[in-house]
Structure 1
Amino acid sequence: MRKTFLSIMAVMLLLAAALLGCSQRPSGATDAPADGKAASGGSQPAAAGGDKTKLTVYSTMTDSSNQDVMKQIAADFTKENPNLQIEFQFPGSEYENILKVKMAANDLPDVFDTHGWAIIRYGKYLADLKDEPWAAQQTDTIKPVVTDKDGKVHALVMSEAKDGISYNADILQKHNIEVPKTFEELVAAAEKIKTESKGETSPFFMSGIDNSMIGGFLDLHATAFFISPKQNDAQSLIDGKFDWNKWTPLAQTLLDLQSKGYINKDVLTAKRSDMPQRFAQGKVAFVTGSPSFADEVHKINPNVKIGIMPLPSVVPGDEPTFTGGERYTMAAWKDGKHLAEAKKLIAFFAKPENMSKIANATKLPSGLKNIESKHEFSEFYAKYSNIRVFPYFDRVYLPNGMWDVMCKTGTALLGGNITPAQFSEKMKQEFERLRNK
């Protein structure tokens, strides 16, 4: 009797486990539909004729319109490859944390976005893509970013970041200001805008709530201070011998912008989401970084002209630069069970017509040569095509974890809680701690 009871219980437990397994599905997952029409973007369930191979794709894209373009391209892929199913994940702000857990478990997606860390962070997990047909078409600026010293190509760069300063072209025209080429000219422009607008227009917008805007200012300008000049500190940073007292002038520069009234007065309480409204109303002139907010501005005021400019030089004799590298990429997990299929998917996305779609959606240059795109910023990228592009300062010269230190300590500086010299000391302490971790 006891034996019969135990047998029945065992069968019930097995059935319960099977049902639970069938019901589970990762949150945020979307599949690429065979016809491209389903709202979720999902492939149809496996036909009775046989099972489909599922490829998981993780991306850092947060804008829904960009995600839709990715899903549509994947849907076109599944039309040609009906035995393959594409499952997308767009984890948003949790992307890095999720990928770190997956790296620790050596259980990565078939295809994933390396978001600026193709070589340094993800390199040992990635398949070499140098023999793919598209690899020879990488742009001169992106090739060294994802290609290591041995020639291994780590990822397809769908969108190449070129961050400098986004600006309200109408405001510059109104105040008869030429696009600044040096930081001195930028400060002079800020003074002119502040004075002539009687304080109605804030030259710069930053957010202490989303302190990545403050960290971004420091990160981009750190390149102009320490990396792009002929006499630079690149090697001393790599060797861990950088004199962190040199950080003080950069911190002081940020503080001076605030003390002179060039940054929005509510910097500590303002949210990033406040910026498009103010920009559309002519209350903001400069925003450090890319014009990814353009669509939000044009929803409010479609007539606003937005421009992009390289980062002005700081050291005499230096030239303006862009900070950039990978923005959106596709890389293949080298130990994935479906590596051949993953490479096939990446190759499909690398087709010129698909790269054009992505370039137009993201409003960024493509990572491959001769990709046609036409959007409101195309003329600027063409105009500045010969400007030097340096990788993000923190990705090359700072240990993992320093980005957060820059953002929080920069906000503390504007909050009056520390001095520029104390900021430098904090950077030194955290650099040494995290570098030796």
Structure 2
Amino acid sequence: MKKLGKTFLLSSALVLALSACNQQSSSDEGGNVQLTLFSTVTNESDKAALNDAIKEFEKKNPNIDIKENFPADKYEGMLRVKMAANDMPDLFDTHGWSKDRYGEYVEDLQDMKWVKDLDPAMDNILKDQSGKVYAYPLNQAKDGITYNATLLKKYGITPPSTFDEWMNAMETVKKKSKGEVTPLWFAGSDKSSFGQYFDQFATPLLVTDSKHDYRKELLNGTFKDWSKFDFLPEKLKEMQEKGLLNKDVLTAQNQQMTDLMAQNKIAFVIGGGLLGPSVKELNPDVQLGVIPMPIIYKGDQPSWIGGERHTLAVWKDSEHKKEAKKFLEFLAQPEMVKKIAEATSLPAGLTNAKADNYFAKDYEKYKDVKVEPYFDRVYLPSGMWDVLGASGQELLSKSMNPEQVSKKIGEEYKRLYKPKK
């Protein structure tokens, strides 16, 4: 990870903006405590779930006031400035970086009662070898491939478990729909949609198969043969050439996805874990499903990609750690765990409650499938996400070929790599 530079301390305009929107935790004359809370949640249902929990907590604890902030795409910039100034919110979302980015700023939560109920799938993500617990999981990510179960049933397609099966399924969709259904849809105006493709499939390509396991080399900076990455851009290019992608793949916008899926115009999307409830609202006759990542090599096992989705960590230097932990204890009650998981349509991070969310049956079906962390968060240096996404756009715009994509990713990996301390 990049070390925070002194330049952040000089960003006076941003610091002033932070001061305006994020009051310091404080105690007023009446003895009330105000906690600051920063979260990365962006969609309205997630915000409502967290806001409802805050209001309920404040009602039961009238001496504690929580000032919540949802900065959306400004979150990381704000938190970097606050890390550089060692002036963190009392409670904050680690959004996938609990150990590598925020580890030195978080309170160890291992002595809290809810830790015994932490889902084992989260152990490697929220704990370290010493037992330190870095954050409380509001929910957890289990990303794979979301599919239109209504269409697959209509065309007699079994949800794929291998990459080859997935390619065959997409070709069947194109053939049987006579081109009326897009087999794989990308919101390509946002380069992160291609970043998601490369990131999620890099794990079965370079990590999970025992004969193609390069995690040690990736972690210590010695991975050099990036031609091994060629498979992914080659397949993406093949999909484009076979007409398996949306024709407007480079200009399509994310907000179009829900409408098109509800109209039975899309068969597969990468990720899409929050898509189900939105589609159901528009068209309850369309049923979606989600599967773990298909394997690339024979003999490998499928995996979910994810870990942290939304969390709350306690700042280790907060003046009100007791009150901050009290809020976490409140969230860890079974009824709250269930309520938040269902409101966000994601699996709960604790095992003391069973959430009945949209994809609950799929998560239960694949409950024994291992959750692997997001590839870029563990195996790539900071700054590589934009490289992955931009490379996908350049590939499909024909300004780069698959070999050039792999070469560029390898060059940027080498340039940005810094050993972890």
What TM-score does the superposition give when structure 1 sets the normalisation length? 0.88
| Structure 2: distance between partners of 1:80 and 1:62 | 26
The answer to whether the aligner puts 1:410 opposite 2:400 as a matched pair is no
| Structure 2: distance between partners of 1:181 and 1:293 | 21
Report the structure number with the largest CA radius of gyration: 1
Q: Which range moved further: 195-204 or 296-305?
A: 296-305
Contact 2:36–2:68 at 8 Å: present in 1 too?
yes
Query: 5 Å matches for 1:170-189?
Result: 170-189=150-169
| Structure 2: distance between partners of 1:210 and 1:27 | 28
**Which SS does the other structure have where 2:297 is aligned?**
coil
Letter in 2 for 1:239: N
Question: What is the match of residue 128 of structure 2?
Answer: 148
Question: What is the match of residue 8 of structure 2?
Answer: none
Identity score, percent: 42
**Which SS does the other structure have where 1:272 is aligned?**
coil
The answer to whether the aligner puts 1:164 opposite 2:144 as a matched pair is yes
Deviation at 1:25, TM superposition (A): 7.5
- Pairing partner for 1:124 from 104, 117, 124: 104
| Structure 2: distance between partners of 1:435 and 1:63 | 33
Deviations 1:20-73 (A, max 9, x none): xxxx984499x9xxxxxxxxxxxxx97xx8142110011111121221221221
Question: What is the match of residue 258 of structure 2?
Answer: 276
Question: What is the match of residue 350 of structure 2?
Answer: 368
Deviation at 1:266, TM superposition (A): 0.6
Question: What is the match of residue 15 of structure 2?
Answer: none
**Which SS does the other structure have where 1:141 is aligned?**
helix
Query: 5 Å matches for 1:296-307?
Result: 296-307=278-289
- Pairing partner for 2:75 from 82, 91, 95: 95
- Pairing partner for 2:296 from 291, 314, 320: 314
The answer to whether the aligner puts 1:267 opposite 2:249 as a matched pair is yes
The answer to whether the aligner puts 1:241 opposite 2:222 as a matched pair is yes
Contact 1:28–1:91 at 8 Å: present in 2 too?
no
Deviation at 1:298, TM superposition (A): 2.5
Query: 5 Å matches for 1:307-346?
Result: 307-346=289-328
| Structure 2: distance between partners of 1:134 and 1:290 | 29
Runs of 4+ in 1 over 3 A off after TM superposition: 24-29
**Which SS does the other structure have where 2:210 is aligned?**
coil
Question: What is the match of residue 350 of structure 1?
Answer: 332
Unaligned runs of 5+ in 1: 1-23, 32-44
Letter in 2 for 1:433: R
Deviation at 1:291, TM superposition (A): 2.5
Question: What is the match of residue 401 of structure 2?
Answer: 419
| Structure 1: distance between partners of 2:276 and 2:80 | 31
| Structure 2: distance between partners of 1:291 and 1:306 | 10
Unaligned runs of 5+ in 2: 1-17
The answer to whether the aligner puts 1:287 opposite 2:269 as a matched pair is yes
RCO higher in structure (CA 8 A, sep ≥6): 2
The answer to whether the aligner puts 1:396 opposite 2:367 as a matched pair is no
Give the length in aligned residue pairs.
398
Deviation at 1:302, TM superposition (A): 2.1
Contact 2:185–2:269 at 8 Å: present in 1 too?
yes
Contact 2:32–2:64 at 8 Å: present in 1 too?
yes
| Structure 1: distance between partners of 2:208 and 2:239 | 22
| Structure 2: distance between partners of 1:119 and 1:28 | 24
Letter in 1 for 2:295: S
Contact 2:22–2:36 at 8 Å: present in 1 too?
no
Contact 1:162–1:290 at 8 Å: present in 2 too?
no
Q: Which range moved further: 123-132 or 204-213?
A: 204-213
Contact 2:136–2:311 at 8 Å: present in 1 too?
yes
| Structure 2: distance between partners of 1:339 and 1:228 | 39
- Pairing partner for 2:57 from 70, 74, 77: 77
Question: What is the match of residue 5 of structure 1?
Answer: none
